[in-house]
C-alpha cells in the first residue's frame, strides 16, 4: 500500500458528477484516505491509510503540507442505514497500529480513542444539523459527540465536506460509565455500565429483548431493545438478564396507577432531568426519527447513581425541518404524537407521553425550557451558531456542491429546496425561530416559584433475596399488602395494622414477586430463592 498520498502535490483536479473541483487548500482540516483503490465495504473494516492536515484554528491547510494531526493506519467501512443509498457515503473509522490493534489518538484535542465517524451530510444541505444538535447536547451538560467539519479526499478524489465526529461508546472521555467486564456478575459491578438503544437492525444490530408493553397508543408496535456497549455477544447471561429486568421494572413502574410515587414509580429508576433534556432537544428539532430510532439509554453503576439516563443524542440529520413526511416539516405539533400521525414498523415507545402525565414532571419540563430559552436555546444563540458555521463553510460549501451538484434539486427527504447554500441556511434559521415560538406558546406544564412533591412513606423489605419470609417496615395506618407474580396475578394478600408486618413465603415457588398496596402501587421487587 502506498502512503505518500498527494503529499507533494501543489493542487488537485478531481472529477465530480459533471464538473471539476480545483482543490489546493482549505480553511477546514483536510482528511486524506487511501484504501489502495480497494472498494470500501459495509463490513468488515478493511485496512487503509489516513493522513490529516491541520495547522490550527484560523490557519489555512495546504494540500501540499505534511500530515501533522494523524498519519497512520485505519480500519474503514461504510456505515449508515438510509444514508447508504446516497452517493456521498459515510464511513466508520478505527485508528490502528500496523498490526491492526487499536491505537488511541487525540484528534483536535478530544480525549484519546480509536473509534471515529466521517459523517456525510449529503441530504442535509446546510451541512450542520448533526453538529448543531451535538453542540446543544454538550452545552446541556450531557456528553454528545464532538464534531469537526473537514474536507475529504479518498483515493485521490475529492469527495466533499464531512463531519468528523466521535462514536458512541463507553469511555471516560465519551459515555462516562464504568467499563463492564464479562466477569462482572455480582454486586455493584453487575449494575453498570450499559448502553442500550432502540434502532433498526439494518446496520447489523441484534434484538436483545422485547418489552412486555406495546408502543404508545394508537401504535401497537413492539418496543425492541438492542445492547450497544457492551454488545449482546460480549455480555454474560447474568448481565443481560440484569439490564433487561431493570428496564422492564422501570416500564412496569410507569404503567402502575401510582407511577408518580418517588419510591415505587418511575423516578426510582431514571435520571429525570436527562429525559427532560432529551425530550426538549428532540422536540425542538422535530426529529421524526426521535424516540423510535437511534435512541440511546445508558445506565451507571449503583455506586455512581445507578439510574437510567436518556441519551446520548444521535442522528439528527432528518430533523430541524429537513423532511417532507410525518409532519416533520411543520414547526407546529409534538414529535411524541408520531404514532397518531404515521404508522410503520418503528413507533414511539409509551414512556414519553406517560412521563408527561405526571404534573410535576410536566412542570419541570416547562421550567427547564423557560430557563434554557434565556441561554443556549435562545433564538440569538441558535442563530449565532448557525451563522458562524455558515461563515466557516462558505468556501468549502462551494467545492462541496461542485462535487455534489444538488442545490436546487430534490434529494429525499428534503422539505425545502434552496437555490443556493445561503437559501438553505436562511431556511434553517427561519424554521428554528418559528419552532421555538410555537413551543413557547404550547409547552407542557406550569413553571411556578415552587412545587411540592406529594408525601409518601418509603417501605423497606428484609431480607431480600429471601428463602422463607420477609419483614415489611414503614407502613402507616391500616391496610392490606398484595404479593403479585411476574404476570401480575395476586398470589397472596396480607392485612396489616402496624408499621411492620412479617410475611411467610414458604408456600411460594422460587422466583420474582412484587409487593403492592392497593391505591399506592408496587413498592418493591422481591426475589425468593
Please write the tens of the pLDDT for every residue from 73-119: 999 999 977 667 899 999 999 999 999 999 999 999 999 999 999 99
381 inside domain: no
- What's the pLDDT at 8? 30
- What's the pLDDT at 404? 97
**Do 153 and 210 sit in the same domain of this protein?**
no
446 inside domain: no
Please write the tens of the pLDDT for every residue from 220-268: 999 999 999 999 999 999 999 999 999 999 999 999 999 999 888 999 9
> Rg of the Cα trace of the chain?
26
Last residue of a domain, one of 349, 372, 395: 372
**Do 313 and 235 sit in the same domain of this protein?**
yes
**Do 268 and 145 sit in the same domain of this protein?**
no
Q: Is 69 helix (H, G, I), strand (E, B) or coil?
A: coil
Confidence of residue 525 (pLDDT cuts 50, 70, 90): confident
Grid cell, residue 53, equals: 492536515
399 inside domain: no
Mean pLDDT across 3-25: 51
Contacts of 210 (CB under 8 A, 6+ apart): 222, 223, 224, 225
Please write the tens of the pLDDT for every residue from 368-417: 999 999 999 999 999 999 999 999 999 999 999 999 999 999 999 999 99
**Do 90 and 220 sit in the same domain of this protein?**
no
Please write the tens of the pLDDT for every residue from 468-524: 899 988 887 788 888 887 666 788 989 888 888 999 998 898 888 888 776 555 567
**Do 159 and 293 sit in the same domain of this protein?**
no
Percent of the chain at pLDDT exceeding 90: 78
Q: Is the pLDDT of residue 21 over 90?
A: no
What's the CA gap between 326 and 289, in Å, rounded?
Answer: 10
- Cis peptide bond prior to 193, omega within 30° of 0: yes
42 inside domain: yes
Instruction: Please report, for the chain, how many H helices and E strands are present, in that order.
Output: 9, 23
Grid cell, residue 349, equals: 415507545
Confidence of residue 1 (pLDDT cuts 50, 70, 90): very low
Mean pLDDT across 121-126: 98
- H or E element at residue 49: strand 46-53
Grid cell, residue 449, equals: 416559584
128 inside domain: yes
Last residue of a domain, one of 372, 398, 419: 372
Domain range for 197: 187-372
**Do 248 and 307 sit in the same domain of this protein?**
yes
Please write the tens of the pLDDT for every residue from 326-354: 999 999 999 999 999 998 889 999 999 99
- H or E element at residue 198: strand 194-198
pTM higher than the cut 0.85: yes
Q: Is 424 helix (H, G, I), strand (E, B) or coil?
A: helix
Please write the tens of the pLDDT for every residue from 162-211: 999 999 999 999 999 999 999 999 999 999 999 999 999 987 789 999 99
Question: Alpha-carbon torsion 63, 65, 71, 73, what sign?
Answer: positive
* Domains: count for the chain: 3
Q: Running DSSP on this structure, what letter comes out for residue 270?
A: B
**Do 147 and 263 sit in the same domain of this protein?**
no
Phi, psi of 274 (to 5 degrees): -65, -35
Query: Which one has a higher pLDDT value, 6 or 416?
Result: 416
Please write the tens of the pLDDT for every residue from 53-76: 999 999 999 999 999 999 999 999
Amino acid at each position: 500500500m502506498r502512503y505518500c498520498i498527494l503529499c507533494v502535490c501543489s493542487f488537485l483536479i478531481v472529477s465530480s458528477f459533471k464538473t471539476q473541483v480545483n482543490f489546493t487548500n482549505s480553511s477546514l482540516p483536510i482528511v486524506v484516505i487511501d484504501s489502495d483503490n480497494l472498494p470500501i465495504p459495509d463490513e468488515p473494516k478493511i485496512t487503509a491509510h489516513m493522513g490529516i492536515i491541520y495547522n490550527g484554528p484560523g490557519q489555512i491547510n495546504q494540500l501540499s503540507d505534511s500530515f501533522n494531526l494523524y498519519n497512520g493506519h485505519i480500519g474503514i467501512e461504510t456505515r449508515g442505514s438510509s444514508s447508504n443509498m446516497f452517493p456521498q457515503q459515510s464511513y466508520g473509522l478505527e485508528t490502528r497500529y500496523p498490526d491492526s490493534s487499536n491505537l488511541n489518538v487525540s484528534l483536535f484535542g478530544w480525549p484519546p480513542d480509536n473509534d471515529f465517524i466521517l459523517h456525510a451530510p449529503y441530504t442535509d444541505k446546510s451541512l450542520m444539523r448533526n453538529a448543531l444538535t451535538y453542540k446543544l447536547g454538550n452545552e446541556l451538560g450531557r456528553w454528545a459527540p464532538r464534531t469537526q467539519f473537514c474536507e475529504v479526499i479518498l483515493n485521490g478524489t475529492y469527495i466533499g465536506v464531512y463531519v468528523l465526529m466521535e462514536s458512541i461508546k463507553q469511555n471516560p472521555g465519551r459515555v462516562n460509565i464504568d467499563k463492564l467486564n464479562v466477569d462482572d456478575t455480582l454486586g455493584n459491578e453487575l449494575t453498570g455500565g450499559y448502553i442500550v438503544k432502540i434502532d433498526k437492525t439494518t446496520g447489523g444490530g441484534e434484538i436483545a429483548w422485547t418489552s412486555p408493553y406495546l408502543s404508545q397508543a394508537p401504535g401497537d408496535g413492539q418496543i425492541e431493545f438492542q445492547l450497544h456497549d457492551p454488545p449482546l455477544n460480549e455480555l454474560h447471561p447474568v448481565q443481560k438478564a440484569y439490564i433487561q429486568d431493570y428496564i422492564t421494572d422501570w416500564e412496569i413502574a410507569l404503567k402502575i396507577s401510582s407511577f408518580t410515587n418517588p419510591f415505587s414509580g418511575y423516578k426510582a429508576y431514571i435520571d429525570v432531568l436527562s429525559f427532560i433534556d432529551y425530550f426538549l432537544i428532540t422536540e425542538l428539532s422535530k426529529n421524526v426519527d426521535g424516540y423510535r430510532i437511534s435512541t440511546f439509554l445508558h445506565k451507571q453503576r449503583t455506586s455512581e447513581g445507578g439510574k437510567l439516563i436518556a441519551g446520548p443524542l444521535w442522528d439528527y440529520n432528518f430533523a430541524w425541518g429537513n423532511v417532507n413526511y410525518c409532519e416533520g416539516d411543520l414547526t407546529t405539533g409534538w414529535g411524541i404524537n408520531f404514532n397518531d400521525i404515521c404508522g410503520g414498523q418503528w413507533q414511539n415507545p409509551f414512556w414519553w407521553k406517560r412521563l408527561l402525565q405526571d404534573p410535576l414532571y410536566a412542570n419541570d419540563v416547562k421550567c427547564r425550557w423557560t430557563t434554557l430559552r434565556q441561554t443556549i436555546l435562545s433564538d440569538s444563540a441558535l442563530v449565532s451558531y448557525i451563522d458562524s458555521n455558515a461563515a466557516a463553510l462558505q468556501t468549502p460549501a462551494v467545492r462541496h456542491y461542485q462535487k455534489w451538484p444538488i442545490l436546487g434539486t430534490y434529494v429525499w427527504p428534503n422539505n425545502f429546496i434552496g437555490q443556493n447554500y445561503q437559501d438553505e441556511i436562511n431556511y434553517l434559521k427561519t424554521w428554528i425561530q418559528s419552532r421555538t415560538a410555537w413551543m413557547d406558546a404550547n409547552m407542557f406544564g406550569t413553571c411556578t416559584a415552587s412545587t411540592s412533591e406529594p408525601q409518601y412513606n418509603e417501605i423497606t423489605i428484609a431480607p431480600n433475596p429471601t428463602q422463607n419470609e420477609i419483614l415489611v417496615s414503614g407502613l402507616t395506618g391500616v391496610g392490606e399488602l398484595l404479593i403479585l407474580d411476574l404476570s401480575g396475578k395476586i398470589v397472596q394478600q396480607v392485612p396489616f395494622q402496624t408499621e411492620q408486618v412479617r410475611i411467610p413465603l414458604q408456600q411460594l415457588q422460587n422466583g420474582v414477586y412484587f409487593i403492592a398496596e392497593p391505591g399506592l402501587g408496587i413498592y418493591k421487587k422481591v426475589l425468593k430463592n
